[in-house]
Chain A
Amino acid sequence: AQTVTQSQPEMSVQEAETVTLSCTYDTSESDYYLFWYKQPPSRQMILVIRQEAYKQQNATENRFSVNFQKAAKSFSLKISDSQLGDAAMYFCAYRRFTQGGSEKLVFGKGTKLTVNP
């Protein structure tokens, strides 16, 4: 069974600084997707960024980027120029690739990010 581990229960960062959240996963599959979701206190789970395992290039979305190390099964999220609105729970998630349909997401336990003004 696939597992996702987020070893940092809490992190904090100063506004405008950079922070990196860690995620490791375990799978025997070669094709899969990895995601970072953000869950603010409003509870709505929002997709931050996704990475296809077959792509060597790391995904980026504005101030958010990932460091995907497939051999090490590591998938960290870097947030640059942190803003107060980035404060939230961040969840790393894994999804197996299939040809014919949607697969379940497997989530880590989350990292609570605090942004200090």
Chain B
Amino acid sequence: DAGVTQSPTHLIKTRGQQVTLRCSPKSGHDTVSWYQQALGQGPQFIFQYYEEEERQRGNFPDRFSGHQFPNYSSELNVNALLLGDSALYLCASSLPLTYQETQYFGPGTRLLVL
């Protein structure tokens, strides 16, 4: 049973560039949530995708956008990168409408903006 996978594992960009991060959910899961974890902090919710639509959004600017594909995999796009976007980006998948619904996390993508 494949868990949540993310790619790439590490990424270095410069200010102003754009980046795309990818996530494949755990087998059987149809909902993907993205979190940003700054160094020394807890994860902060960015947004969640279900049925290829953004279902919930946290307090992040429009520079952060996403997409979900028919196979439930997801992308996180960040435009016009700022130094403050340097963080660990975590993807979590879940299967809502089930009683024991829990979010399972991937290993994350470490983004460094120079």
Q: Which of B31, B41, B43, B108 has the most CB of A within 10 A?
A: B43
Residue numbers in B under 8 Å from A42 (CB-CB): 107
B108/A43 in contact, CB under 8 A: yes
CB closest residue in chain A, given B56: A104
Assign chain A's interface to a size class: 20 to 34
Binding site for A on B (CB under 8 A): 31, 33, 35, 40-45, 48, 50, 55-56, 58, 88, 90, 92, 94, 96-97, 101-108, 110
Residue numbers in B under 8 Å from A44 (CB-CB): 105-108
A-B contacts, CB under 8 A, total = 63
Q: Does chain B have a CB within 8 A of A84?
A: no
Which residues of A, 62-102, contact B by the 8 Å Cβ criterion?
91, 93, 100-102
A101/B42 in contact, CB under 8 A: no
Q: A44-B107, A101-B31 are in contact. Are A110 and B42 (CB under 8 A)?
A: yes
Binding site for B on A (CB under 8 A): 4, 35, 37, 42-47, 50, 91, 93, 100-110
A105/B103 in contact, CB under 8 A: yes
